Structure 1
Amino acid sequence: MAEDSSAIVKALERVLLRLSENPYPHVPNPQGCKKRASVAAIIRVRPAYSPVPSTNDSLVAVSQPASPPTSIEEFFSQDWVQQGDPELLFIKRAGRAGDRWSGHTALPGGKRDPEDADDLAAAVRETREEVGLDLDTVHCLHAGNLPERLVTTSWGKDVLMVLCPYIFLLTEKTSPWIQPQPTEVASVHWVSLRALLSPSLRTTEAVDISSRMAKHVGPLLHRLIRLTIGKMLFSAVRLVPTESIYASSIPGFIPTKGIDKPPTISGWAQAPFGVPSSSQSLSHQQPILLWGLTLGVLADLLDQLPPYNAVALWRYPTFTVPDLRLIVYLMTCQFRKASAESLSSGSWASQTAVDATTQATAVTASEPPSTVSEAEPLTLTKQLSFEKHSVGIGGLGVGSDPQHAVGKLLHGYYDRVNVAIAVFLAYRTSFAAGIAFWAYRLWKRRQAASL
């Protein structure tokens, strides 16, 4: 563990220095969109274990507290930092009706208010409100930002907001107290970067992409689509927290025996919302998954850290239905092979971050942004209209080959997935028609034999 952490600490210092010296440029709001949101990627270093000396020990010298580091170099030059384990802060959002990100694992943050001086101020304010952590102190360094993204609906028709991720580095050896805001945050988790980079914790998240079609196609056709194509699988990371803080006032936090009525949040939603059921203790909750928007936001940071295997661990989105998965595999085989040949260190499988209802796409510097969504392969790629002075960000950040930062692996992938779905539906329809025709012929023969 010490060797892994040491390599990550050294690489993290280089990445944060590069990001602080070469920040990603500001992306203005596109026409028709006024909302902006900011999130905070908060990093701390957990010191290596050492026995706590007794206060009665006469040999213990009273040392004066050192002044806090004023730069990234000064922070990482400390021995306890070089021997420590870097961690990242995540929140589990509380379950709220009508909230499209309800129950998701995320970074602290939220929408920018009119009184916020800028996007950075919005990230600081939202973090203070959600987890009680003040980032505007001498014990916290602003360490640059990650690419700003356009968050759109999964159908790619409307831009919801511009998402601005910022990186902060806590410099104290002892982290400040965390206080989750119970109406917005169910729990807060510190997760080692080693866990985020571990191949053993890579998994998938199954998403019912048909759920968003119900209001467009009706309940009957919605159920038919859901039964036919199943769910879609996306790359995810199972988080193993080193420290967790729960908002103990959330409904159902204390299990009650012999409860007469169902809990406020239904059983299927308890694990995603971070609420334990009456038969579960906090230690037996389902795994906390990082995927979609937040995983996409952190992609650029993770891919710059050893063992530099983020691309190799990523998997193309596919489906749970076996025959549809096979068709998608066959029809994208050559595409995936060609994409794999172009990979290099510093590239991530997608600059498009998605969840079940939204997507966030990094803008390229050379062309208008496309709205390719991992969560919506059933619609064709659409182009958004931007002002001429819009600043592209896809190829201007970290990475040994900036051309890979615009999502080469997914560019064109969904065109083939759309075709695969059409082939699948045609084959299923033909098969069902054949079965129906065979059943009809069999029924007619039996009718004729009975006469």
Structure 2
Amino acid sequence: MKAVDIPHVKYISQLSRHLASIPASHIDFERRSAVAIIIRLVILDDTAYPVFTPPTIQTPESIVQACDIFLSQKEFCNARAQLLFIQRAHHDKDPWSGHIGFPGGKREAQDQNDQQTAERETKEELGLDLQTFVHLGQLDDAPAYMFCRGTKLVVSPHVYLQTTENTPPLLLSDEVASAHWIGFDHLLSKVDNRVDLTSYRSVKSMIVERMVGGRGKALRWWQQALSVFVGSLHYTVLELPFVARDSLVNAKIARKITPFATDSELHLWGLSLIMAATLVDMSLPVAPIQLPQFISIAGPWPQLGNWLWTDVNAITNFIHNRFWSPYSRKPWQVQKSSGNQLLAYFRVLPVAFSLSCAVKVTAIWYLGRQLWKYIW
């Protein structure tokens, strides 16, 4: 069985059921942010769009029932799901400047909860009123972990479904460079293709620069020397298709496409990729055993780029394969959740790194001792 062959409505139906039945994990942290993961269904032919009937009393159970009735209608049998992504505008002081992600932002004093933050920020950034959408639920809180600097922010992802055919016009603020709808089948294609553990990552982060803090901060001579030795960290990325409106044959889709501001950074990585991977995990309508190629659309953990740390990569990749299977994650887990992928990696990395350094120091000491005996 291939994930791309399963109708998209089955994914959305399963997603609504899982979000209602499996509580999202909450991380108690002062600095919080929230994003909106917005889904819409597009019918490719001229079939009339079904009407969604909201429940009189809105509870998670009643919303699931209403969504099941809505999505089970025959008009949706070949409908294609799409997710809304934005490209953030470039700002020198913004650590996520220019990145692809979901609309959202930091929680303010007037927000009563994270859901209000996601809705307020989406309206400010895109002019989109999410109160006219169906709130399917919340994914697990995701910590924004800065390497060597700890958790700086916790992000709460909230999932929304558009239940009308036409999407309201997007009015982009100065914080957003562009907005774009990406087909859900692009994410599913990663489910059917196992990611190579040795593949090179295209997003590179210099470890010493992350340790001292600040982007583009001038390093002292000893920091530059240490940077050469320690090397860089290469993050897993998910390439997004750059779709030009003129290249689309289907006019119904073409008039709904908003091109990205640039085609040079069209990839997900870091926290946005983790949230997208979690969404796919929660959407699977079949058990992962029926999808033998599936690990995660996020692929393996990051890799140290310096040739000195090949052994560290081997250790972390072994742990990833051993413990980070689909069955160790929501919603199919058979054991306690392993938590956020990047956070789990940064907990494993110091152990592997320390072990590697100890082995290298011992080897150098032993070789030096033997050389000393040979010379003298």
TM-score computed with the length of structure 2 as normaliser: 0.73
Matched, 1:118 2:113: yes
State the shift of 1:299 in Å. Answer: 2.5
Q: CA 1:416/1:96 → structure 2, altered by over 3 Å: closer, same or farther? A: same
Matched, 1:108 2:100: no
State the shift of 1:214 in Å. Answer: 4.6
State the shift of 1:67 in Å. Answer: 4.3
Secondary structure at 2:296 match in 1: helix
Correspondence for 1:36 among 23, 32, 38: 32
Correspondence for 2:81 among 78, 83, 86: 86
Aligned residues of 2:32 and 2:155 also touching (Cα < 8 A): yes
| 1:63-118 deviation line (CA, Å, top 9, x unaligned) | 8x864342211321223323111111111111112112111111110111222232
Q: Which residue pairs with 2:301 in the alignment?
A: 316
Q: Which residue pairs with 2:52 in the alignment?
A: 68
Aligned residues of 1:89 and 1:190 also touching (Cα < 8 A): yes
Unaligned 5+ segments in structure 2 are 55-65, 244-255, 285-290, 369-376
Matched, 1:198 2:199: no
Written as runs of structure 1 = structure 2, the 5 A alignment for 1:257-406 is 276=262, 285-305=263-283, 307=291, 309-311=294-296, 314-321=299-306, 323-330=307-314, 332=315, 336-337=317-318, 340-342=321-323, 344-348=325-329, 398-406=331-339
RMSD, matched Cα:
3.7
Written as runs of structure 1 = structure 2, the 5 A alignment for 1:211-226 is 211-214=209-212, 218-226=219-227
Structure 1 stretch displaced more, 402-411 or 296-305: 402-411
Q: CA 1:346/1:108 → structure 2, altered by over 3 Å: closer, same or farther? A: farther
Secondary structure at 2:122 match in 1: helix
Aligned residues of 1:187 and 1:244 also touching (Cα < 8 A): no
Correspondence for 2:134 among 141, 150, 155: 141
Secondary structure at 2:93 match in 1: coil
Structure 1 stretch displaced more, 37-46 or 3-12: 3-12
Aligned residues of 1:145 and 1:167 also touching (Cα < 8 A): yes
Matched, 1:165 2:157: yes
Q: Which residue pairs with 1:449 in the alignment?
A: none
Correspondence for 1:188 among 170, 179, 184: 179
Secondary structure at 1:197 match in 2: helix
Q: CA 1:11/1:291 → structure 2, altered by over 3 Å: closer, same or farther? A: same
Q: CA 1:227/1:26 → structure 2, altered by over 3 Å: closer, same or farther? A: closer
Question: Which residue identity is paired with 2:39?
Answer: I
Structure 1 stretch displaced more, 17-26 or 213-222: 213-222
Matched, 1:131 2:112: no
Secondary structure at 2:236 match in 1: strand
Secondary structure at 2:134 match in 1: strand
Which one has the bigger helix percentage? 2
Aligned residues of 2:87 and 2:261 also touching (Cα < 8 A): no
Q: CA 1:224/1:97 → structure 2, altered by over 3 Å: closer, same or farther? A: same
Q: Which residue pairs with 1:381 in the alignment?
A: none
Written as runs of structure 1 = structure 2, the 5 A alignment for 1:238-249 is 238-240=239-241, 244-245=257-258
- After TM superposition, the runs of 4+ consecutive aligned structure 1 residues lying more than 6 A away are 200-203, 427-430
Q: Which residue pairs with 1:208 in the alignment?
A: 206
Taking the aligned partners of 1:3 and 1:161, their CA distance within structure 2 comes to: 33
Q: CA 1:149/1:212 → structure 2, altered by over 3 Å: closer, same or farther? A: same
| 1:201-255 deviation line (CA, Å, top 9, x unaligned) | 9673222223224569942223223333332112110011566535xxxxxxxxx
State the shift of 1:122 in Å. Answer: 1.1
| 1:133-178 deviation line (CA, Å, top 9, x unaligned) | 11111xx110010012343543345x53332110000111222222
Taking the aligned partners of 1:26 and 1:407, their CA distance within structure 2 comes to: 12
Written as runs of structure 1 = structure 2, the 5 A alignment for 1:401-412 is 401-406=334-339, 410=345
Taking the aligned partners of 2:100 and 2:15, their CA distance within structure 1 comes to: 24
Question: Which residue identity is paired with 1:162?
Answer: V
Matched, 1:10 2:10: yes
Question: Which residue identity is paired with 1:208?
Answer: M
Aligned residues of 1:39 and 1:164 also touching (Cα < 8 A): yes
Taking the aligned partners of 1:3 and 1:296, their CA distance within structure 2 comes to: 19
Taking the aligned partners of 1:346 and 1:73, their CA distance within structure 2 comes to: 26
Q: Which residue pairs with 2:19 in the alignment?
A: 19
Question: Which residue identity is paired with 2:266?
Answer: I
Question: Which residue identity is paired with 1:212?
Answer: R
Secondary structure at 1:406 match in 2: coil
Question: Which residue identity is paired with 1:245?
Answer: T
Taking the aligned partners of 1:312 and 1:132, their CA distance within structure 2 comes to: 30
Taking the aligned partners of 1:105 and 1:224, their CA distance within structure 2 comes to: 32
Q: Which residue pairs with 2:166 in the alignment?
A: 174
TM-score computed with the length of structure 1 as normaliser: 0.62
Q: CA 1:420/1:407 → structure 2, altered by over 3 Å: closer, same or farther? A: same
